[in-house]
């Protein structure tokens, strides 16, 4: 059999980087996709230094032509596609609904939701050609299990939309032997806060005193990117062959607490 191939978006850092490394460890050749060439080359170099194969793919997931070209470049290099991790996204602007601008709303929708659509849209034909595969969408507990993040209306809407997309596509893609699932992380030690703009929090925050520590299973500490990557690797594998259309919350108990 040809070596299996995985595409990971947002692979330059955080969960995407951990997922790319985890899948390479499982024997996949990896297409590491993102917007920062330097970060992607570093990840690809790390994977190659362990004796595995990787390619850096620079693309904006919200740009259809760039995504089409990136997927074609991946296929040109490795000849097939078996696993897709649609991870790339932003927090965007968190603000009161009457303060959130249309441009801010559309940026979050474009990257998180349209970007997920384009990633899947241009990957599915190649998964079909490979005889099936697995798609893992990285959503969040926000919009799927918790609704208490101040001003996160646009973000929560995209994360809920991703889970709806997963559940809708599970039946459509099953006949092609393609599974699709979502992982919904809670607080994880990534740098996603770098693309978060929080405005007028006092107008939207709920005046509640939470128990000490947000993540019960770790004594309040955030989870690690590797904690999410391990679940992604499982959902990509044949061990998850009977799982599709399912959200999996990786939050250390944070969701039920909130």
All structural domains of the chain: 5-257 (3.40.50.720)
Which pLDDT score is estimated for 210? 52
Q: Based on the number of CB atoms within 10 Å of its own CB, is 199 exposed (0-12), middle (13-18) or buried (19 or more)?
A: middle
CA distance 88 to 94: 18
pTM value is 0.90
Catalytic residue among 94, 155, 234, 249: 155
Average pLDDT over residues 187-202: 64
- Indicate whether 16 pLDDT > 70: yes
Angle at CA of residue 120, ends 17 and 189, nearest 5°: 25
With CA atoms as reference, report the closest residue to 58 among 77, 48, 73.
73
Confidence of residue 189 (pLDDT cuts 50, 70, 90): confident
Q: What is the pLDDT of residues 121-170, one digit of tens each?
A: 999 999 999 999 999 999 999 999 999 888 999 999 999 999 999 999 99
Average pLDDT over residues 94-103: 96
Q: What is the pLDDT of residues 18-38, one digit of tens each?
A: 999 999 999 999 999 999 999
The pLDDT > 90 percentage for the chain reads 79
CA distances from 139 to 7, 14, 165, 240, 243 (A): 17, 14, 11, 18, 17
With CA atoms as reference, report the closest residue to 197 among 246, 148, 152.
152
- Whether 28 is a known active-site residue: answer no
For the beta carbon of residue 36, count every other beta carbon within 10 angstroms.
14
């Amino acid at each position: 059999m040809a070596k299996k191939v995985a595409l990971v978006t947002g692979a330059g850092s955080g969960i995407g980087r951990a997922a790319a490394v985890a899948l390479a460890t499982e024997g996949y050749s990896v297409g590491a996709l993102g917007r920062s060439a330097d970060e992607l080359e570093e990840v690809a170099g790390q994977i190659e230094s362990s004796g595995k194969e990787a390619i850096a793919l620079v693309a904006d997931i919200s740009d259809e032509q760039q995504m089409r070209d990136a997927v074609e470049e991946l296929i040109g290099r490795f000849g097939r596609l078996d696993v897709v991790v649609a991870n790339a996204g932003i927090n965007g602007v968190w603000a009161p609904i009457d303060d959130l601008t249309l441009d801010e709303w559309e940026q979050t929708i474009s990257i998180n939701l349209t970007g997920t659509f384009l990633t899947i849209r241009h990957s599915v034909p190649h998964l079909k050609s490979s005889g099936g595969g697995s798609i893992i969408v990285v959503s969040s507990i926000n919009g799927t299990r918790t609704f208490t993040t101040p001003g996160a209306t646009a973000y929560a809407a995209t994360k809920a939309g991703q889970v709806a997309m997963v559940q809708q596509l599970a039946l459509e893609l099953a006949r092609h032997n393609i599974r699709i699932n979502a992982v919904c992380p809670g607080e994880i030690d990534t740098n996603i806060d770098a693309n978060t703009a929080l405005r007028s929090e006092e107008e939207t925050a709920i005046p509640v005193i939470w128990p000490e520590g947000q993540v019960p299973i770790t004594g309040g500490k955030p989870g690690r990117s590797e904690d999410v990557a391990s679940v992604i690797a499982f959902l990509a594998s044949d061990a998850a062959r009977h799982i599709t259309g399912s959200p999996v919350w990786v939050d250390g108990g944070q969701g039920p607490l909130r």
